[in-house]
Structure 1
Amino acid sequence: MTHIFAHRGSAGTHPENTMISFMEAARVEADGIELDVQLSRDGVVVVIHDETVNRTTDGTGWVGQMTYRQLRKLNANYKFKKYGFCPIPSLQEVLEWAKNTSLLINIELKNNLIPYERLEEKVIELVERYDLASRVIFSSFNHESMATCHQLAPHIETALLYMEKLHRPWSYAHTLQALALHPYHPTVNRSFVEAAHAHHLLVRPFTINKEELMKTMFQYEVDGIFTDFPEKAQNVREKTLRSL
C-alpha cells in the first residue's frame, strides 16, 4: 500500500514544520511525516524549510546566522494566524514526540545551498538517541550528503530528491547505495515506477496535493506520496483501493 507522508506536517491546513502541524498529521492517521532540518548558529538542528526565516515566521534573517534561542522567539504560524504562537521546533523536540507514535519520519537535510558543517552527524546522533533508525528516511537534493549519511549510518534508509527527469536513475541511486527515489511528480509515470521497482528501488513522488493526481499515484502503486493534505489523501486512497 502507498504510504501517505504529511509534507512539512499537514502543511495545507496548519503552519508548516511546526509541532501543531505534525500532531495534526498523527491525528488524521497519516503513515508518516516529512520535515526539513538545518543548523542554528550555535549548532542546534532546527526544523525549518527555507534558508531564511522570512517566509514562514514574523522575523527576517538567515537561519544559520541566528542562535537557537533567537529562532525560538519567532512565530512560525506563517499564514495560519488562528493557531497563535508556533515556535520553530528543534529536531530533538520532534523526535521526542514522534517516538511515542508509529509514524515514519522523512528527514530532509537542507544543505544543498548552505553546507552546514556536521549536519549529517548531528541528525544521525539524534535519530540513534531516540532509537528511531528503523522508522527514519534521510533525503536531500544534496546527493553527496546522502552518500555521507550512508557511510556514517548504513542501516538508515537514504533517498535521492530531484526535480528533472534522469536517465536510468536506478543506476545512479545504486552507486550511492540509496534505497529510494523521491522525484518531482511530473517526471513519474507508470513505466518509470515499474522500472524502479524492478531495480529494487522505492518511489515516493512530491508534492501531491490534487485529488486526481493522488488517485493516479495510488494507481501507479508508488511506495509513498508527500502531500500537504494528508487527510484528503487518506480519503482518496481509500476510494481508489476500493475501485481497483
Structure 2
Amino acid sequence: MSLVFAHRGYSAKFPENTMISFQQAEKVCADGIELDIQMTKDGELVIIHDEKVDRTTNGSGYVKDYLYKDIRTLDAASKYNGNGQKMQIPSLHEFFEWMKQTNIICNIEFKNNKLPYKEMEEKTIELIRQYGLETQIIFSSFNHYSMVLCNQIDPTIETALLFSDGIYRPWMYAKAIKANGIHPNQRLVNKEFIRNSESFGIKVRAYTVNDPKKMKLFASSGISALITDDPSLAKSILNDFAP
C-alpha cells in the first residue's frame, strides 16, 4: 500500500513546518512527515522552507543571517489565517525530541540548492545518530551532490532525488548515484513512470499531490508514497486500495 507523507506537516490546515503541523499530521495517521531545513548564522539546523523568513513569519531577511536565539523570536504562524496563536520556527533537535516518541518516518529536505550551508549534511547525520533515528529518515534535495555526500557519510540512511523537470530514465540515474528513491513533481508522473521506477527498485514519492483523482491514479499504479498537504484526505482515499 502507498504511504502518505504530510508536506511540511499538515499544511492544508495548520501553519507549515511548525510543531503543531507535524503533531496534527501524526494524529491523522500520516505515515511520514516531509520537512525542510536551513541553517542559522551560528550553525543551528532549523525547519523552514524558504531561504528567507519573509513569507512565513513576521520577520525579514535570510535565515543564514539570523542567530538561533533571534530567529526563535519570530512568529512562524503570523502569515497563516488561523487562531492567532504564536508559533516558533522549530529546530531539528526539537523535532527529533518529539519524533523519537513516534513511529513516523521523516523526509528531511536539504534546502541547499540555492545557498551553500557548510557541513549541513554532517551536522544533520550526527544529530540523527544521537537520537538513533537512522531507520526512520529519508533525505532528499534538489542538490544531488548533497545526496551523494550523505550516502558517502552514512549509506544506511535512505536518499532520494528531488526534481521538477523531466530527466531521461530517472530511475537509472538514481541507481547510478546510489539513491534509493526519486521525488518528482507530480505533473511528471504517470502509470508508466511509476511502474518503470518501482520495477527498477527505485521508490517514487511524488509531490505535491492534493488532487483526489491523482491520488487514486498514483495509488492504483503502485506508487511508494504521496507527498501531500492534506494527509487526512490522502489516507482516506488510499485506504480504498488496501489489500
What's 1:107 paired with?
Answer: 108
Alpha-carbon deviation of 1:174? Answer: 1.5
Calculate the TM-score normalised by the size of structure 1: 0.97
Structure 1, unpaired ranges of 5+:
none
1:167 aligns with 2:162: no
What's 1:61 paired with?
Answer: 61
What's 1:18 paired with?
Answer: 18
Distance 2:60 2:176 in 1: 40
1:37 aligns with 2:37: yes
Alpha-carbon deviation of 1:84? Answer: 0.4
Task: Give the length in aligned residue pairs.
Answer: 242
What's 1:212 paired with?
Answer: 213
Amino acid paired to 2:19: M
Alpha-carbon deviation of 1:127? Answer: 0.8
Secondary structure, aligned partner of 1:82 = coil
Distance 1:198 1:81 in 2: 43
Distance 1:52 1:107 in 2: 18
* 1:103-134 CA-partner distances (Å, limit 9, x unpaired): 00000000000010000001101111110000
1:98 aligns with 2:99: yes
What's 1:75 paired with?
Answer: 75
Amino acid paired to 1:153: D
Q: Over the residues paired in the alignment, what is the CA RMSD in angstroms?
A: 1.1
What fraction of aligned residue pairs are identical, expressed as a percent?
Answer: 44
What's 1:50 paired with?
Answer: 50
Distance 1:35 1:81 in 2: 20
Amino acid paired to 1:76: A
Alpha-carbon deviation of 1:176? Answer: 1.2
Q: Displaced runs of 4+ in structure 1, greater than 4 A?
A: none
Alpha-carbon deviation of 1:80? Answer: 3.3
Distance 2:176 2:238 in 1: 33
Matches within 5 A, 1:125-204: 125-204=126-205
Calculate the TM-score normalised by the size of structure 2: 0.97
Amino acid paired to 1:94: F
Amino acid paired to 1:80: N
Distance 1:81 1:199 in 2: 44
Structure 2, unpaired ranges of 5+:
none
Distance 2:200 2:235 in 1: 28
* 1:147-186 CA-partner distances (Å, limit 9, x unpaired): 0000001000000000111111122112210000100011
Alpha-carbon deviation of 1:208? Answer: 0.5
Distance 2:65 2:110 in 1: 17
Alpha-carbon deviation of 1:83? Answer: 5.0
